[in-house]
A and B are shown apart, each in its own frame.
Chain A
Amino acid sequence: MTFFIETLIGGLLAGTMYSLVAIGFVLIYKASGVFNFAQGAMLLFAALTFVSLREQGVPFAAALVLTVVVIAIGALAIERWILRPLVNRSQITLFMATLGLSFIVEGLAQGLMGAEVRALDLGIQDTPVMFGDIMVSHFDLVAAATATVLVTVLALLFNKTRVGVSLRAVADDTRAALSIGINLNRIWQIVWAVAGSVGLVAGLLWGARQGVQFSLSLVVLKALPVLIIGGFTSIGGAIVGGLIVGAAENLAEVYIGPFIGGGITPWFAYFIALAFLYVRPAGLFGERAIERV
């Protein structure tokens, strides 16, 4: 029983990392209707930038600020050269544009900052902590705490600030938001920068775990089932989805994996997502679209 609970908690904590990646997706999808496949590449780029700055001897806080500045510049460029020319095009077109974007960002990141694995030390020890009989990783706890803080900050940003309210207006009804004078392009820039910064946090946590390397950009594939379960439009859904996927994956790898050859994590999350989809075709928290001819 102890082992089961340990596996479950380990999965839930790993799930918060999935949630972090998924939140970046949800932010962009809500504000601009873009299913951003480049989120993984952005995460890689952000983490690589941060690591490179640290290697040059830049202090931690300064490196963080500089990376956010770089992300903001990237967001401006994306809005100007990709989103604005593609405005009013179908969602599939926008998705494919982000596929192209992910190629550009990956190429830039590796071309400018190298392709080798970089170690990243955030100063968090990865020692086990005991709660009674149950052993939990210290690092996972810190990661979960970071995720909680981040979500709280985002919630405050959206509910208490002027920018946040206009952002919610855009997400709710783009045309109405435009008609009362909200600057849509500015909102897009802000959202992409915020999503990039969320990606930075996720990238740093993942990177500290497994080294900053190309495979970081593949977490985007991990985040997809999370989004499916939670729905593309709900931050709460992204969190719940991440927890479900993390826990289910860990449990399945331990309890089902050995019977069918192991290594089932790449697809197991997708099957959970499919099961959810079959019951609720727009995700757990997604809104069901009404179609008119």
Chain B
Amino acid sequence: MSLHTYTLPAPFDNAPVHLVGSRAPWPLLVLLMIAFGVVPLLGSDYWLNAILIPFLVLSLAGLGLNLLTGYTGQTSVGSAGFMAVGAFATYNLLLRVPVLPLPVALILGGLFAAAVGWVVGIPSSRIKGFYLMVTTLAAQFFLEWIFSKFPWFYNNASSGTISAPNLVLFGHDLNTPTHRYLFTLSVVTLLTWVAVNLVKSQIGRNWMAIRDMDTAAAVIGIPVDRYKRQAFTVSSFYLGIAGALWAFFYLGTASASSFDINRSFQILFIIIIGGMGSIAGNFIGAAFISLLPILLSFAGQVLLGGAIDTGQIQNLQKIIFGTLIIWFLIKEPDGLVRLILNLRERLSVWPLRF
């Protein structure tokens, strides 16, 4: 009869893998400093109003959808509906409760959208994949219908539109393009920071487990239904705030048709082209989506000298967009952000090659 002696393994005082602590993200800080400090000085009103503000808002909307689709794996084509909830809720809060300061109204508007998102997320416990996508489509059409059919939501305006209330932040007037840009940028920066931490946390890891395989996630004890609903809620909060910003800081005057199904698709394209399951991807995708039409019409003007009419340019744009989407799906399913990361890895050993 042999006796085995067991020895405990030595403590891992020299673990092979060191968890990387948070390094100061220098490039990011420089970028933020430029965005906050330099851009408002240099940017013309046209640049701020027509390019940078929509770019920022679309990035935020993309971020919202990415939390749901890219991180939790629940495809949604109802993003614009949630944006509409945020816009109309903020409008009515500012209109009917004038004491509310702008940031509070914005957050409450986001919370309204989040509540709607929670309700839309309920079927996700039973329905999956394409069938769930149809749920979000139902929400999209239903919300669009509500906001155009019931005049209460747009204060009985005969035009059916909502206009930006007087945008005031702690006594400061926000009606110049520079101020609106800075406010939008601050909101987007803050919410992006929250999102970065969120996806690193237990919540984000649970979301990703559900995305990768929800049955397996359930088996290891993640309350799948609750986390799916939570993803819907958080995503809708982001989209709601993006919607309010879109209506009041970019468009100025909005109606239910500003948030139609095409807007939802636009946001979906942002995350496909930018990169699903990536925070930076939203910004890259949004930049791409908002700059491409400008570039195309500019190129059309220069190359063809106005010989081609705007309708044809739009058709051409559609074809190029469609081709790019398919090309990305085939060549780089992780989106533009992956291309940039690959480039960075290449540069890190330049001029040598892997």
Q: Which residues in A have their C-beta under 8 angstroms from that of B329?
A: 86, 89, 93, 96-97, 100
Quote the shortest CB–CB distance from B158 to chain A (angstroms).
17
Identify whether the interface residues of B are mostly helix, strand, loop, or mixed.
Answer: helix
Question: Is the CB–CB distance between A89 and B317 below 8 Å?
Answer: no
Q: How many Å lie between the Cα of A35 and that of B329 in the bound state?
A: 15
Question: Is the CB–CB distance between B129 and A92 below 8 Å?
Answer: yes
Q: How many Å lie between the Cα of A82 and that of B219 in the bound state?
A: 36
Quote the shortest CB–CB distance from B302 to chain A (angstroms).
20
Q: A95-B130, A104-B322 are in contact. List 19 more A-B contacts (CB 8 A).
A: A82-B326, A91-B130, A99-B322, A104-B318, A104-B319, A107-B316, A107-B317, A110-B315, A221-B141, A261-B150, A266-B141, A267-B142, A267-B145, A270-B138, A270-B141, A271-B138, A271-B142, A274-B138, A293-B219
Q: Which residue of A lies closest to B143 (CB)?
A: A267
Identify whether the interface residues of A are mostly helix, strand, loop, or mixed.
Answer: helix
**B-binding segment of A48-56, A145-153, A224-232, A242-250:** A224-232
Tell me if B226 is interfacial: C-beta within 8 Å of chain A. no
Tell me if A263 is interfacial: C-beta within 8 Å of chain B. yes
Tell me if A108 is interfacial: C-beta within 8 Å of chain B. yes
Q: Which residues from chain A sit less than 8 Å from chain B, CB to CB?
A: 35, 81-82, 85-86, 89, 91-93, 95-97, 99-108, 110-111, 115, 221, 224-225, 228, 232, 260-264, 266-267, 270-271, 273-274, 277-278, 281-283, 291-293
Q: How many Å lie between the Cα of A276 and that of B116 in the bound state?
A: 21
Tell me if B272 is interfacial: C-beta within 8 Å of chain A. yes
Residue-wise interface mask of B (137-180) relative to A, using a CB-CB cutoff of 8 A (1 in contact, 0 not): 11001101100011000000000000000000000000000000
Quote the shortest CB–CB distance from A116 to chain B (angstroms).
10
If the complex has contacts A86-B329, A89-B333, A224-B137, are A115 and B311 also in contact, measured as CB distance less than 8 A?
yes
Question: Is the CB–CB distance between B322 and A107 below 8 Å?
Answer: yes
Q: Which residues in A have their C-beta under 8 angstroms from that of B330?
A: 82, 85-86, 97
Q: How many Å lie between the Cα of A291 and that of B216 in the bound state?
A: 10
Question: Is the CB–CB distance between B315 and A111 below 8 Å?
Answer: yes
Tell me if B126 is interfacial: C-beta within 8 Å of chain A. yes
Tell me if B72 is interfacial: C-beta within 8 Å of chain A. no
Question: Is the CB–CB distance between A277 and B123 below 8 Å?
Answer: yes
Question: Is the CB–CB distance between B216 and A293 below 8 Å?
Answer: yes
Q: How many Å lie between the Cα of A102 and that of B268 in the bound state?
A: 14
If the complex has contacts A35-B130, A224-B134, A270-B134, are A111 and B319 also in contact, measured as CB distance less than 8 A?
yes
Question: Is the CB–CB distance between A228 and B333 below 8 Å?
Answer: no
Q: Which residue of B lies closest to A279 (CB)?
A: B126
Question: Is the CB–CB distance between B333 and A282 below 8 Å?
Answer: no
Q: How many Å lie between the Cα of A293 and that of B142 in the bound state?
A: 36
Quote the shortest CB–CB distance from A290 to chain B (angstroms).
10
Quote the shortest CB–CB distance from B96 to chain A (angstroms).
21
Q: Which residues in B have their C-beta under 8 angstroms from that of A35?
A: 130
Q: Which residues from chain B sit less than 8 Å from chain A, CB to CB?
A: 75, 123, 126-131, 134-135, 137-138, 141-142, 144-145, 149-150, 213, 215-216, 219, 261, 265, 268-269, 272, 311-312, 315-319, 321-326, 329-330, 333
Q: Which residue of B lies closest to A286 (CB)?
A: B131
Q: Which residues in A have their C-beta under 8 angstroms from that of B321?
A: 100, 103
Q: Could you give 29 example pairs across A and B, Cβ below 8 Å?
A: A86-B329, A91-B130, A93-B333, A96-B325, A96-B329, A97-B329, A99-B325, A100-B329, A101-B326, A103-B319, A104-B318, A105-B322, A107-B316, A107-B322, A263-B145, A263-B149, A264-B145, A266-B144, A267-B141, A267-B145, A270-B138, A270-B141, A270-B142, A278-B123, A281-B131, A283-B131, A291-B215, A293-B213, A293-B215
Which among B123, B129, B265, B321 has the highest number of chain A CB atoms within 10 Å? B129
Q: Which residues in B have their C-beta under 8 angstroms from that of A104?
A: 318-319, 322-323, 326
Q: How many Å lie between the Cα of A264 and that of B317 in the bound state?
A: 33
Q: How many Å lie between the Cα of A110 and that of B313 in the bound state?
A: 11
Question: Is the CB–CB distance between B123 and A274 below 8 Å?
Answer: yes
Question: Is the CB–CB distance between A111 and B312 below 8 Å?
Answer: yes
Question: Is the CB–CB distance between B149 and A281 below 8 Å?
Answer: no
Question: Is the CB–CB distance between B150 and A107 below 8 Å?
Answer: no
If the complex has contacts A271-B138, A274-B138, are A97 and B131 also in contact, measured as CB distance less than 8 A?
no
- Can you list the 9 inter-chain pairs with the closest CB atoms, starting with the nearest? A103-B322, A100-B325, A107-B318, A270-B138, A104-B322, A111-B315, A107-B319, A267-B141, A100-B322
